[in-house]
Amino acid sequence: MISRLTTQNLILSAPSSGDLSAINHFEIRNDNHLKKWESTNPVNNQPIYEETQKRLENWIKECEEGRSARFFIRPKDSRSKIIGFCNFTQIFHGSFQACYLGYKIDYEYEGKGLMFEALEAAIRYVFEELGIHRIMANYMPINFRSAKLLQRLGFTVEGYAKKYLLINNRWEDHILTALSVEQWEQQSKRSFSSNEESEKNCNDNLIIRECEVKDINSMVALSYQKRLLYEKAEPQFWRYAKGAEDVQSQWFEELLKKDDYILLLAELKEDIVGFIIGQIIKAPDVYAPPGLTLMVDDFCVSAPLWNDVGSQLLNKIKLLAKSNGARQIVIVSGAHDQFKREFLKNYGLRVVTEWHVGEISGYNKC
pLDDT tens for 114-146 read 999 999 999 999 998 899 999 999 998 878 788
- Give the mean model confidence (pLDDT) for residues 77-82: 90
* Structural domain includes residue 79: yes
What is the rounded average pLDDT of the residues 261-265?
A: 95
Query: Does 338 map to a domain?
Result: yes
What was the pLDDT predicted at 324?
83
- Residue bearing the bigger pLDDT, 240 or 54: 54
Question: Quick check: is 150 in a domain?
Answer: yes
CATH for 112? 3.40.630.30
Please check the confidence at residue 47 and state whether its pLDDT lies above 50: no
Residue 229 has pLDDT above 80, yes or no: no
Residues 258 and 123 in one domain: no
| Percent of the chain residues past pLDDT 70, beyond the cut | 90
The answer to whether residue 192 scores a pLDDT higher than 70 is: no
Q: Is the pLDDT of residue 61 over 80?
A: yes
In-domain check, residue 359: no
pLDDT of residue 169: 81
Closest CA to 114 of 61, 78, 156: 78
Instruction: Classify residue 353: in a domain, yes or no.
Output: no
Domain that holds residue 339: 206-347
Indicate the pLDDT class of residue 209, thresholds 50, 70 and 90. Answer: very high
pLDDT reported for residue 44: 47
Domain stops at, among 141, 165, 193: 193
What is the CB-side half-sphere exposure of residue 96 using CA atoms within 13 A?
A: 9
Question: To the nearest whole percent, how much of the chain has pLDDT over 90?
Answer: 45
| C-alpha atoms less than 13 angstroms from C-alpha of 29 in its C-beta half-sphere | 16
In a domain, 362, yes or no: no
Q: CB of 54 within 8 A of CB of 130?
A: no
Residue 124 contacts residue 132 (beta carbons within 8 Å): no
**Residue where a domain stops, chosen among 165, 193, 221:** 193
Beta bridge partners of 178: 136, 156
pLDDT exceeds 80 at position 45: no
| pLDDT of amino acid 8 | 87
Q: Are residues 210 and 187 in the same domain?
A: no
Residue 366 has pLDDT above 50, yes or no: no
Based on the fold, state whether residues 63 and 144 are members of the same structural domain.
yes
195: pLDDT confidence band, cut at 50, 70 and 90?
A: very low
Give yes or no: residues 176 and 33 share one domain. Answer: yes
Residues 166 and 222 in one domain: no
* Rounded CA separation 191/188 (Å): 7
Q: What CA–CA distance (Å, rounded) separates 305 from 309? A: 6
Q: Supply the pLDDT for residue 85.
A: 96
3-state secondary structure (DSSP) of residue 97: coil
Q: Which helix (H) or strand (E) holds 137?
A: strand 134-139
Both 185 and 305 in a single domain?
A: no
Q: How many CA atoms lie within 13 A of 113 on its CB side?
A: 7
Q: Which among 193, 219, 237 is the end of a domain?
A: 193
214 in the same domain as 167: no
pLDDT band at residue 364 using 50, 70 and 90 as cut-offs? low
Note whether 180 and 38 are same-domain residues. Answer: yes
* pLDDT tens, position by position, 297-338: 899 998 778 888 999 999 999 999 988 888 999 999 988 888
**Minimum mean pLDDT range among 27-36, 38-47, 262-271, 343-352:** 38-47
By C-alpha distance, which of 119, 116, 155 is closest to 137?
155
Same domain, 99 and 157: yes
Domain count within the chain: 2
In whole angstroms, give the CA distance from residue 150 to residue 92: 21
Task: Say if residue 11 is in the same domain as residue 157.
Answer: yes
- For residue 85, tell me if it sits in a domain: yes
167 and 238 in one domain? no
Q: What is the pLDDT of residue 318?
A: 94
* Cα–Cα dist 313/331, whole Å: 13
What mean pLDDT is predicted for residues 84-91? 96
For residue 306, give the nearest of 273, 352, 257 by alpha carbon.
273
Return the closest-CA partner of residue 149 out of 186, 181, 122: 122
Contact 324, 292 (CB under 8 A): yes
- Res 328: pLDDT: 93
Q: Judge if 112 and 220 occupy the same domain.
A: no
Alpha carbon distances (Å) from 255 to 213, 251, 323: 10, 6, 19
**In this predicted model, which residue has the larger pLDDT, 200 or 96?**
96
Q: What is the mean pLDDT of the chain?
A: 86
Give pLDDT, residue 196.
Answer: 44
Q: Is residue 259 part of a domain?
A: yes
